[in-house]
Chains A and B, each alone.
Chain A
Amino acid sequence: MPEAFNAPLFRKAVEQLDQERRCVVLDLGAAHTDTIALFSEYRCRLEIADIADGLGSLAEITDDLEQRAEALLPRAQQEPADLVLCWDLLNYLSLPAIRALSKRLSARGRPGMQLHCLIVYAATNMPVTPCPFIPQPDRSLLQLAADPNEIQAPRYSPEALGDALLGYTVDRAMLLGNGMQEFLFRL
């Protein structure tokens, strides 16, 4: 049974949401009961994009990359997002694909929108498919087992990631005990 790990920036991002003010959270991962439970504590609209199965559509670097990134996201709403949860999904995208996706996310976000992600930094390999991350009541994260097969991890540096996430600034970054680097970007 996997153990939950402490993710201070995830906790910070969630706790910065105002319980009295309406907010919009865009979760790029799959729908999960515990994620829904967590955000039900807020006056929140939770958008679930579940883009993992469509990441392959961003593998080819062509001029229409942004359109393909947009196609992965839920139908755009008028209300801008306050928080985007990327989990470990950016590890599975090239830097141009991250740039294209982040542009589409920017278009859906309000100024100051936060973007949280987990980047593999210590390990040279990572699971061949993204892992589900399940928020726990104490705001720690439980990483569920994914495909046991592995691929090489891109191990993006903060600089490379910052360059790809155009228009975002690093709010904070932290090295976690599980071999991942946790980032909180701000639009």
Chain B
Amino acid sequence: MFERGKKDGPEGYSNEAAPGNSPQWAGNAPKSQSSGNPGSQGAAVIGRSIRIDGDLQGEEDLRIEGDVNGKIQLRNSTLTIGSEGKVRASVYAKSVAVDGYVEGDVFGAENIIVRKNAQVQGNMTAPRVSLEDGAKFKGSIEMDPDAVNAAMGGAAKTPSKPTPVEKTAASNDKVIAASEAAARKAR
């Protein structure tokens, strides 16, 4: 559906057209990227010159560096909103990582990561929410496992009771897992 990023580069995405018949949407995706976005390597890319108004659905990982207004549903995949990305939408994905700007409610069946340069305005619902120091956030974070599970239609991997969080390190930045429940269950 989207341009497939190069898999051989460390950035995991490209500004080159996709092979085959894939639409050539991405244009000027930046080469720089913060490290450690799970699932961003090989993800489809919406480049920074692209603007989309409407609903996006898919079954593959997606990286957004452009503007998207509407609704995004990647229920079994990872969505990365890159440093150039501007999303004004309701977002549903298995996993969401935000480096750029988001205005809207964000649902992650597994987790949401808000990186230090991100700006998020809206409500976040996920079994595990991480926010790096420096990130700008205004809205609510749902931490009640029962409420998370209900919001995710039972898809969230949450226990019936909350458990204390643990501190983890990622990309030399302190990241606090707001709820490690899903991770613990997965172990």
- Chain A contact residues, CB within 8 Å of chain B: 19-20, 22, 30-34, 36-37, 39-50, 74-75, 77
Contacts and interface: CB of A to CB of B under 8 A. Distances in A.
A41 B140 CA distance: 16
Contacts, number: 81
Contact of A50 (B130, B133, B138, B143): B138
A77 B162 CA distance: 22
Given A37-B167, A46-B141, A75-B123, 16 more contacts: A22-B144, A31-B131, A32-B131, A33-B131, A33-B174, A33-B176, A37-B177, A40-B162, A41-B164, A45-B141, A45-B144, A46-B143, A48-B138, A48-B139, A49-B138, A74-B138
Given A33-B175, A37-B165, A44 B144 contact: yes
Given A43-B145, A45-B147, A50 B137 contact: yes
A33 B133 contact: yes
Contacts of A19: 162
B132 interface: yes
Contacts of B135: 31
Contact of B140 (A22, A40, A43, A74): A74
29 contacts: A22-B147, A31-B131, A31-B137, A31-B138, A32-B133, A33-B131, A33-B175, A34-B176, A36-B141, A36-B165, A37-B178, A39-B143, A40-B165, A40-B177, A40-B178, A41-B162, A42-B143, A42-B162, A43-B143, A44-B143, A45-B140, A45-B143, A45-B144, A46-B143, A47-B139, A48-B137, A48-B141, A50-B136, A50-B137
Contacts of A20: 161
- DSSP class of B's interface residues: helix, strand, loop or mixed? strand
B37 interface: no
A164 B179 CA distance: 37
Interface string B27-54: 0000000000000000000000000000
B5 to A, nearest CB: 30
Interface residues of B, number: 30
B146 A43 contact: yes
Contacts of A74: 138-140
Contact of A47 (B133, B140, B146, B147): B140
B142 interface: yes
Contacts of B129: 36
A70 to B, nearest CB: 14
5 nearest A-B residue pairs (beta carbon): A33-B176, A31-B137, A43-B144, A37-B176, A47-B140
A131 B20 CA distance: 55
Contact of B162 (A30, A33, A43, A46): A43
B139 A40 contact: no
A75 to B, nearest CB: 8
Contact of A40 (B132, B146, B175, B179): B179
Nearest to A77: B140
Contacts of A44: 143-144, 162
Nearest to B179: A40
A81 to B, nearest CB: 11
Contacts of A43: 143-147, 161-162
A112 B137 CA distance: 27
